[in-house]
Structure 1
Amino acid sequence: MVQEMIVVEGKDDTTAVKRAVGADTIETGGSAIGEDVLRRIELAQARRGVIILTDPDAPGERIRKIVAERVPGCKHAFLTKDEARGRRGIGVEHASDAAIQRALEVVRSPEGDSGELGEIEWNDLLDTGLIVQPSSARRRERMGELLGIGYANGKQFYKRCLMFRITRVEFLAALEQLEREGL
C-alpha cells in the first residue's frame, strides 16, 4: 500500500490505481479543478503526502502543473504514452498494473539532493540534440522515460530537469542509453 494520496483525473484512473497498488486517490474530475478539490489535495499533502499521476497528454500535464503550483512538495509519477495507450485513447486507466506499480516505485520529488557534478544547463539540451533538431521530440520522449520525468517540449523538459534535480550523472547515463538505442 502506498502511504501518499495519489492524485488522478477520474474514476477509471482510481479503479486502475486501486487494482494495481491498493492506494487512496483524489480525483480532479478533469482539467477544470475546483477549489474544493485543491483544498483536499492541500490537506492530503499536509497529512500523508501526495503523488500526482495524470495521463501523459496535454490535459494531464495541465492538471499536474495546476496541482504542483498550488500544493508545493508533491511527488510526481509518470507513465509513458505507450504504457497508457488503450483502444479509446491515452490514460492511466489503460495502463497495466505493472506499469502503474513501476511509475509509483520511481516517483520524483522536487525536493532532493542537488546532485553530483551540478545541474543540467540549457546548452546541454542543445549539445545533445534534445532541442532544435528534427529528431529532438523523439529523443526527449525517450530521455523523459529513462529519467522518469515524462515527455515535455524542450522548455518544459529543461524545467523538469531542474525541478527534479536531475544530476549530470543521471543525464549522461540516460544519454548513453539513448545512444545505444540509436536515437
Structure 2
Amino acid sequence: MIREMIVVEGKEDTAAVRRAVGADTIETGGSAVDENVLRRIELAQDRRGVIIFTDPDSPGERIRKIVAERVPGAKHAFLTRGEARGRDGIGVEHASDEAIRRALNAVRSPEESGCGEEGVQIAWSDLLDAGLIVHANAVRRRERMGELLGIGYANGKQFYKRCIMFRITPAEFAASLQQLEREGL
C-alpha cells in the first residue's frame, strides 16, 4: 500500500490506480478544483503526504500547478503521453497497470532550495544549447527528455521550472541528453 494519498482527476483515474496498486486517492473533479478539495489535499499532505498524478495534457497540467502551488512539498508522478493514450483521449485511466506502477515508483519530490548538486542548477542556456527550446524538433526533444528525467512533458518555460523544482543535476541532464543524441533526436 502506498503511504501517500494520490491526487487524481476523476473516478476512472481512481479505478485505474486502485487496479494497479494499493492506494487511497483524492479526486479533483476536473480542472476546476474547488476550495474544499484543496483543503482535503492540504490535510492529506500534513497527515500522510500527497502525490500529484494527473493526466499528461493541458487540463492535467493546470490541476498539477494549482495543487502544487497550494500544497508545497507535494510529490509528483508522471505518465508519458504515449502511456496515457487511449481510444478516446489521454488520461491516467487509459494507462496500463505497469505504466501506473512505473510512474508511482519514479515519484519526484521538489526541493525548497531549487539547486542541484552543490548548489549547481540547470540554466536556461542549457535548454537552448540542448535544442530543447528554439529548435525545429524542440517539442519532441523535450518530450523525450522529460521521459528520461522522469519529469513529464512540458513547454519550454515549464520544463525549465521542473528542472529547477526537481533539482535535476547537470550530470542527470547531460546523461539524458547523451541518450537523446544516441536515439537520433
TM-score (norm 1): 0.98
Residue identity (%): 79
Distance 2:94 2:131 in 1: 31
1:179 counterpart = 2:181:
yes
Could you say which residue in structure 1 is the equivalent of 2:43? 43
C-alpha displacement of 1:22:
1.4
- Counterpart of 1:55? 55
* Distance in 1 (alpha carbons) for counterparts of 2:148 and 2:112: 18
Following TM superposition, the consecutive aligned residue runs of length 4 or more in structure 1 with deviations greater than 4 angstroms are none
Within a 5 Å distance, the mapping from 1:19-168 to structure 2 comes to 19-111=19-111, 114-116=115-117, 118-168=120-170
Q: Displacement of 1:111 after TM fit?
A: 2.0
Aligned residues: 183
Task: Look up the SS of the partner of 2:7 in the other structure.
Answer: strand
CA shift digits 1:15-36 (9 cap, x unpaired): 0000101100000000001110
User: Aligned to 2:14, what secondary structure does the other structure show?
Assistant: helix
Q: Which residue of structure 2 aligns with residue 3 of structure 1?
A: 3
Query: For residue 142 of structure 2, what is the amino acid of its counterpart?
Result: R
Question: Structure 1 stretches of 5 or more lacking a match?
Answer: none
Residue 89 of structure 1 deviates from its aligned partner by 0.4
CA distance in 2, matches of 1:54, 1:22: 17
CA distance in 2, matches of 1:2, 1:176: 33
